Amino acid sequence: MAIIKHNSDFTWENVDVLKYKEEGTHFKAITRQLLFEGNRDLAVQLRYFEIAPGGHSTLERHNHVHVVMVIRGSGKALIGSEVVTLGRFDIINIPSHTWHQFQAVTREPLGFLCLVNTKRDKPERPGKEELDAIRSNAVAAQFIKI
Amino acid sequence: MAIIKHNSDFTWENVDVLKYKEEGTHFKAITRQLLFEGNRDLAVQLRYFEIAPGGHSTLERHNHVHVVMVIRGSGKALIGSEVVTLGRFDIINIPSHTWHQFQAVTREPLGFLCLVNTKRDKPERPGKEELDAIRSNAVAAQFIKI
């Protein structure tokens, strides 16, 4: 199919609205849609994540990098030691091995495209030591949801 | 820089608005911005193209594939033998070696993200024989601008 039509309200024709992850309590009110699954010619995936007001993604890190673009609403994110405010069409580069978490902190959902390599490592969540290290940064300590 | 802020009106902080191509009369009223230039960790580029009303991209084909998402306005595109109508957040997959051209056919600009491999072949424009072949399709013949 050459074209995938946007229905409205950030769903697309013949694209399933999926669970963010299969299980866990380390995230809240977030969905996933796979917009481009990657192939031999272009070995990346383009996903759309949407976090409902009050929700958040998992606090995690991994070797693979993310390029993110907000296309709906607004929110905030922890990227390493920084908490950034996100608005529509802002672009976020998440380097390798950098702790990150997205949160929908306003009355709007936070919807964003996320670009990754098709082949990638599994995310890692912080253990007690890593959490202590993250929390040694007051800004991060106040922000994160576990 | 972890975050590239969207200014407004589809320009971004510290991102240059570039010429679409260095020279030629085979395109009209189109600009290019490089939003992610690619690196060892993620060997793709994310570009934003914007076509002003009445403008168009080059009619071309190449081995590398495109994944496109409209983020501003509306328009039309030739993709192979089809002319498709494009609206906001529609996704277009342009397979390898497929003739394509984007046009801003309404009073709105047509702005779209375009994802490609960093390493890619150069586009090819149609010669006389290829043009005859493209024009054997009445829909394409009526649409294309050379």
Going from N- to C-terminal start, the domains of chain A cover: 11-143
Which of B1, B3, B44, B85 should one mutate to test binding to chain A, selecting the residue with the greatest count of A CBs within 10 A? Answer: B3
Instruction: Tell me how close the Cα of B146 comes to any Cα of chain A, in angstroms.
Output: 22
Q: Report the mean per-residue pLDDT for chain B.
A: 96
**Catalytic residue (one of A83, A114, A116, A140):** A114
Contacts of B10 in chain A (CB under 8 A): 89
- CATH for A11-143 is 2.60.120.10
For chain A, 146 residues long, the average pLDDT of each consecutive 10-residue run is: 91 95 88 96 98 97 97 97 96 97 97 98 96 97 96
Q: Do A96 and B44 touch (CB under 8 A)?
A: no
B34 in A contact zone (CB under 8 Å) = no
pLDDT of B32: 97
For domain B22-143, give the CATH superfamily.
Jelly Rolls (2.60.120.10)
pLDDT of res. A30: 95
Residue B95 has pLDDT above 60, yes or no: yes
Give the model's pLDDT for residue A1.
57
Pure H helices in chain A: 128-135, 138-143
Question: Testing the interface with B: which of A11, A34, A42 to mutate, by most B Cβ within 10 A?
Answer: A42
Phi, psi for residue B120 in degrees, rounded to 5: -155, 160
The rounded distance, in Å, linking the Cα atoms of A54 and A110 is: 10
So what's the pLDDT on residue A31? 96
The yes/no answer to whether this complex scores an ipTM above 0.90 is yes
- Chain B residues in contact with A80 (beta carbon < 8 A): 2
Share of chain B above pLDDT 70, in %: 99
- The dihedral region occupied by B34, where left means phi > 0, alpha psi between -120 and 50, and beta the remainder, is beta
What confidence score (pLDDT) does residue B71 get? 98
Q: What is the mean pLDDT of residues B72-100?
A: 97
Long-range contacts, stretch B118-121, CB < 8 angstroms, 24+ apart = B118/B37, B118/B38, B118/B43, B118/B44, B118/B45, B119/B43, B120/B62, B120/B63, B120/B64, B121/B62, B121/B63, B121/B64
CA distance B23 to chain A (A): 28
Residue A25 in tokens: 């309590």
For range B78-89, the mean pLDDT: 96
Strand partners, A119: none
Q: Is A7 on the interface with B (CB under 8 A)?
A: no
Task: For residue A127, give how far its alpha carbon lies from the nearest alpha carbon of chain B (Å).
Answer: 24
Chains A, B: CB contacts under 8 A, how many?
115
Q: Is B37 on the interface with A (CB under 8 A)?
A: no
pLDDT tier for residue B37 given thresholds of 50, 70 and 90: very high
Predicted TM-score of the model (pTM) = 0.96
Is B114 one of the catalytic residues?
A: yes
Answer yes or no: is pLDDT of B1 > 80.
no
pLDDT at residue number A107:
95
What would the mean pLDDT of B14-28 be, rounded to a whole number? 90
Nearest chain B Cα to A86, which residue? Answer: B5
- Using CB atoms, which residue from A2, A46, A89 is nearest to B79? A2
Q: Is residue A90 less than 8 Å (CB to CB) from chain B?
A: yes
Closest listed residue to residue A82, CA positions, set A138, A7, A35, A18: A138
Helix (H, G, I), strand (E, B) or coil at A133: helix
Q: What is the pLDDT of residue B8?
A: 87
Interface check A120 vs B, CB under 8 A: no
